[in-house]
């Protein structure tokens, strides 16, 4: 059942010409982990802050568990928030930081102490209760911030780009930790990030945003493999976007440097000779034939070969276009050399028309 609902939420800042957030509609289930993903300035943080109560929507409503909280003050919403800069109180120890919410609510001291101990165990920092924030590393500070937000048993957890300030390795381990804790507690969570790998790896659903509007909402698998708009296709994952000419609209045929290949459907609203853009994921192109009759193929010259660790990326020059082809790395891989001629094969369904 719906736990958090944003209905027609719109936010226009004073003295702004365009809305920061517009037409935002979202239903989040209880216990779900939803990410807001998008480039800087797309409105994801603004939306999060409206849920937290630090901004008020210009129009629209926000309800939690059926109750309208649109106008409720932030210190009365019982929503936990983790900030990008951790925002730990520098004059208090870790234990005092975690217990802050309860002490403000005048809970009895033994209760606070017990809860703090529980939280320290949850984030696996049992020994650091007496330390001050400036004595902790970035990753440790962020875990304390998480514990502080969760100590009050909030009904909702909000995280605003919590890992942006951390090293890459810590980011990966910490995001998994956050997800584990969230599953353990079953708490409904909204996670804002601009890192698509982060969003895809830990979310139940992803909301892709651009310039204040929702582009697509769906599980990570769907967002990646079935992007609904050109923006989503280009923002999530690596994409080849090549400029081709329409050859036969009815057959869905397009031409690149004299070579023809087919899209999965007929091209409407275009005529032969028009220029369009087609998207192809690098991992869906392969030097090996798929064996099917109606597969597409393109031939070009290898311009560069890059070893990215688990993946070998070949840069193939075909006319004006540069195609990226990803293959899983293994010691027996036949890696082409620069200057070689190479033919790649791909399904019709792998093609996405960007300018539809």
Partner 1 sequence: MATTLPAAPRRRFSWNWLGLVPFFVFSFLFIFLPSASLFVDSFQNQNGQFTLDNIAGLFEPPIPASYLLSVQISLTTALMGGLLGFFMAYALTVGNLPRWLRPITLTFAGVASNFAGVPLAFAFIATLGQVGFLTVLLRNAFGWNLYTTGFSLYSFLGLSLAYMYFQFPLMLLIMIPAIEGLKREWREAAENLGASTAQYWLRVGLPVLMPSLLGTMLLLFGNAFGAYATAYGLTGGNLQLITIQLGAQMRGDVLRNPNLGYAMALGMVVIMAVCISGYIWLQRLSERWLK
- Determine if 17 is a binding residue for partner 1 (CB under 8 A): no
- Determine if 80 is a binding residue for partner 1 (CB under 8 A): yes
16 vs 105 by CB, closer to partner 1 = 105
Contacts with partner 1: how many residues (CB under 8 A)?
A: 28
Could you give the CA distance from residue 127 to residue 309 in angstroms, rounded to a whole number? 37
Residue 149 · residue 81 · CB < 8 Å: yes
What are the backbone dihedrals phi and psi of residue 160, each rounded to the nearest 5 degrees, phi first? Answer: -105, 95
Torsion, CA 107, CA 113, CA 115, CA 119, rounded to 10: 140
Residue 216 · residue 228 · CB < 8 Å: yes
- Determine if 318 is a binding residue for partner 1 (CB under 8 A): no
Could you give the CA distance from residue 49 to residue 42 in angstroms, rounded to a whole number? 13
123 vs 242 by CB, closer to partner 1 = 123
Which residue has 């369009």 as its token pair? 276
- Residue 282 corresponds to which tokens in the numbers above? 């690098």
- Determine if 4 is a binding residue for partner 1 (CB under 8 A): no
- Determine if 52 is a binding residue for partner 1 (CB under 8 A): yes
Among 21, 26, 69, 81, indicate the residue that binds partner 1 (CB under 8 A): 81
- Determine if 170 is a binding residue for partner 1 (CB under 8 A): no
Among 39, 67, 71, 89, indicate the residue that binds partner 1 (CB under 8 A): 89
85 vs 290 by CB, closer to partner 1 = 85
CA–CA distance from 14 to each of 18, 19, 57, 58 (Å)? 10, 10, 12, 10
- Determine if 15 is a binding residue for partner 1 (CB under 8 A): no
Query: Residues 107-136 vs partner 1: string with x where CB under 8 A?
Result: ---------------------------x--
- Determine if 48 is a binding residue for partner 1 (CB under 8 A): no
Of residues 53 through 72, those in contact with partner 1 by CB under 8 A are: 53-54
- Determine if 166 is a binding residue for partner 1 (CB under 8 A): no
User: How buried is residue 81: exposed, middle or buried, by Cβ count under 10 Å (0-12/13-18/19+)?
Assistant: buried
- Residue 131 corresponds to which tokens in the numbers above? 């330390």
- Determine if 269 is a binding residue for partner 1 (CB under 8 A): no
Cα torsion angle, 295, 296, 299, 305, sign: negative
Among 24, 33, 100, 235, indicate the residue that binds partner 1 (CB under 8 A): 100
Of residues 133 through 152, those in contact with partner 1 by CB under 8 A are: 134, 145, 148-149, 152
From 50-58, 161-169, 172-180, 300-308, span contacting partner 1 (CB under 8 A): 50-58
- Determine if 85 is a binding residue for partner 1 (CB under 8 A): yes
Q: What is the nearest approach in angstroms of partner 1 to the Cβ of residue 77?
A: 8
- Residue 70 corresponds to which tokens in the numbers above? 């649109």
92 vs 284 by CB, closer to partner 1 = 92
Q: What is the nearest approach in angstroms of partner 1 to the Cβ of residue 134?
A: 6
- Strand ranges of the sheet holding 341-346, from the earlier edge strand across to the other edge: 321-328, 311-318, 296-307, 341-346
Give the pairing type, strands 156-160 and 79-82.
parallel
Could you give the CA distance from residue 103 to residue 89 in angstroms, rounded to a whole number? 14
- Three-state DSSP state, 216: strand
Could you give the CA distance from residue 244 to residue 231 in angstroms, rounded to a whole number? 19
* Residue numbers at the binding site for partner 1 (CB under 8 A): 52-54, 73-76, 78-81, 83, 85, 87-92, 100-101, 104-105, 134, 145, 148-149, 152
């Amino acid at each position: 059942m719906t736990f958090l609902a944003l209905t027609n939420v719109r936010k226009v800042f004073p003295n702004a010409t365009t809305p920061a957030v517009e037409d935002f509609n979202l239903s989040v289930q209880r216990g779900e982990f939803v990410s807001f993903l998008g480039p800087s300035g797309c409105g994801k943080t603004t939306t999060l802050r409206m849920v937290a109560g630090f901004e008020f929507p210009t129009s629209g409503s926000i309800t939690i568990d059926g109750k309208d909280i649109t106008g409720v003050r932030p210190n009365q919403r019982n929503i936990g928030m983790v900030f990008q800069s951790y925002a730990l109180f520098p004059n208090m120890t870790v234990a005092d930081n975690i217990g802050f919410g309860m002490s403000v609510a005048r809970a009895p001291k033994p209760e606070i102490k017990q809860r703090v101990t529980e939280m320290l165990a949850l984030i696996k920092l049992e020994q650091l209760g007496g330390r001050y924030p400036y004595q902790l590393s970035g990753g440790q500070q962020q875990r304390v911030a998480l514990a502080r937000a969760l100590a009050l048993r909030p009904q909702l957890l909000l995280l605003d780009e919590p890992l942006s300030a951390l090293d890459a390795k810590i980011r990966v381990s910490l995001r998994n930790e956050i997800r584990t804790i969230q599953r353990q507690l079953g708490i409904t969570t909204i996670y804002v990030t601009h890192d698509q790998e982060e969003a895809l790896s830990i979310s139940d659903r992803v909301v892709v945003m651009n310039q204040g509007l929702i582009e697509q909402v769906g599980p990570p698998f769907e967002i990646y493999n079935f992007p609904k708009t050109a923006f989503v296709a280009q923002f999530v994952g690596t994409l080849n976007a090549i400029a081709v000419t329409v050859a036969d609209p009815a057959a869905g045929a397009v031409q690149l440097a004299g070579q023809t290949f087919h899209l999965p459907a007929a091209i409407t609203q275009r005529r032969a000779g028009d220029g369009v853009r087609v998207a192809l994921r690098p991992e869906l192109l392969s030097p090996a034939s798929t064996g099917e009759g109606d597969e597409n193929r393109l031939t070009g010259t290898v311009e560069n070969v890059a070893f990215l660790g688990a993946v070998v990326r070949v840069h193939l020059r075909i006319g004006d276009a540069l195609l990226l082809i990803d293959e899983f790395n293994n010691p027996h891989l036949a890696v082409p050399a620069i200057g070689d001629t190479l033919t790649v094969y791909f399904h019709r369904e792998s093609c996405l028309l960007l300018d539809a």
